[in-house]
Amino acid sequence: MREGSDRLRFALLDASHGDEHTPRNFRRELDADLVEFDVTQHERPAHFDFDAVVVTGSRSSVYWDRDWIRPLIEYVAAADEHGVPILGVCYGHQVLASALGGRVEDMGEYEIGYREIRQTSDDDLFESVPESFTAFTSHSDAVTELPPGADLLAENDYGVHAFRRGDAWGVQFHPEYDPETATAITKEKDLSEERLQAVLGGITAENYDAACQTKRLFENFTAYVRRARRTREPATQ
């Protein structure tokens, strides 16, 4: 690990196809130096010398036949084997599940908007997050089979919303979203006019304030990564 710096260094694997909101949101929420890779343009780290790896959302599906998707999944699997802490968000959650041997499938519909999600077990990632919490969701795929050895951490009526295996976590919802992002993403979806207006009508200050409780996940992940780094650093003489 690098010497002489307490600043964490994360690889941000950006699968958003150049969406302007994605890097901005993660830069704001993660207290670390981010080395950004546009994985949809075949940019990937050549090594694993990072304190953590974070995988973003995407409008793609992990099971699509695209020449950048399989290498991304393989890199995430290798990072896990190297003991690098990983956080996957939405599509990143599905990439992580696939990389670790789980299953992702098309739901046949969208879950979108501010929704209620329930924790199913205690975990460091959810420290100080309410047992039942509000978060913005936007997905039509779901993890339908957890990776071997993974623990379910949160769910709702649409299925798995968080899991953990070892030093790797996936969350299906979007703790990084602000109202601007939620509005822009919603308007991009192929929804009926009635449902579109219902989702947009739910993007309120009250719902956003409630969803901000999930931003604690980023602080908890960063704190975990810092503790993990200390255990790997050689003791000073």
Catalytic residue among 90, 111, 139, 161: 90
Q: What are the pLDDT digits (tens) for 200-225?
A: 999 999 999 999 999 999 999 999 99
Confidence (pLDDT) at 176:
98
Q: 111 catalytic, yes or no?
A: no
- Residue type (1 letter), 192: S
Confidence (pLDDT) at 6:
85
Q: What are the pLDDT digits (tens) for 45-77?
A: 999 999 999 999 999 999 999 999 999 999 999
Q: 139 catalytic, yes or no?
A: no
Phi, psi of 151 (to 5 degrees): -110, 135
Residue among 194, 197, 181 at smallest CA distance from 135: 181
Are 47 and 81 in contact, with CB atoms under 8 Å apart? Answer: no
Catalytic residue among 93, 139, 161, 174: 174
Q: 212 catalytic, yes or no?
A: no
Confidence (pLDDT) at 48:
98
* pLDDT beneath 50, residues of the chain: 1-4, 235-237
Residue with tokens 């974070």: 54
Catalytic residue among 36, 161, 176, 233: 176
Token pair of 58, please? 């995407």
Rounded-to-integer distance, Cα 160 and Cα 87, Å: 15
Strand partners, 34: 10
**Residues in CB range of 221: below 8 A, 6 or more apart:** 52, 85, 87, 125, 169
Answer whether 0.75 is exceeded by the pTM: yes
Token pair of 135, please? 């978060």
Confidence (pLDDT) at 42:
97
